[in-house]
Amino acid sequence: MSDFDREIERELNRILGPVDSASIPAWRTPASGGFMKRLLGGTGAAIAAKLATGFAVAALAAAGAGVMTEVATTGSLNPNVWGQQVKQTVATCKTTLRASGVRGIGPCVSAFAKQHGEQVSDSHQASNARNGHGKGQNNSNGHGQPSDKTHGKPSTVPPSH
């Protein structure tokens, strides 16, 4: 062994000697990551979060659009007013029909639904035209039809006789 070798060993021992006898950090078994865990914990989690955020934003936008439509057609910000309007219209219609000998509120509800559908359709068309989305007649599908089951049957309507 040459002097140079001895010098290397001496210097290595001076620096690394304390390291050899230093305390060792406790071994902690790393969490085993299966395929699903990696999928859900890594990129999958990020994608899921983005999807959830996207759905939430879309739902909020849809709700906002619905509110804007109702505000536009009833002229009021209060949701109670929207139901009240239906109630009043149907009640007036019923009184008129009764006077002419017709019973039931079916024709009244149909008439209101038709009128409401047209208003909503017009509102959507105007909104789409403003936003430059066009094809408003496609968006009115189902709103202007008297037979539309999603419109014209407010829960506040009194039961028919």
Partner 1 sequence: MDYKPGDEADFERLYRTSYNRVLGTLMGVLGDRAAAEDCTQEAFVRAYRTWKDWRGDAPAEAWVHRIAINTAISHQRYERMREVGQVLRRIGRPTPPPDPASLAERSDLFKALRKLPPKQAAAIVLRHHHGYTNREIGAALGVPERTVASRLAAAKENLRRALGHEPKSGPQIEVGTFSEDSVPCD
Write down the least CB distance from residue 23 to partner 1, Å: 9
Asked if residue 34 binds partner 1 (CB under 8 A), the reply is no
- Nearest by Cα to 88 from 64, 68, 108: 108
Place of tokens 């239906």: 86
Asked if residue 51 binds partner 1 (CB under 8 A), the reply is no
* 41 in contact with partner 1 (CB under 8 A): no
93's CB contacts (< 8 A; 6+ apart) are 105, 107, 108, 111, 112
Q: How far is the CB of 8 from partner 1 (least distance, A)?
A: 5
Can you tell me the distance from the alpha carbon of 159 to that of 95, in angstroms, rounded to the nearest whole number? 14
Looking at the Cβ atoms of 14 and 135, the one nearer to partner 1 is: 14
Binding site for partner 1 (CB under 8 A): 4-5, 8-9, 11-16, 19-22, 24-25, 27, 29-30
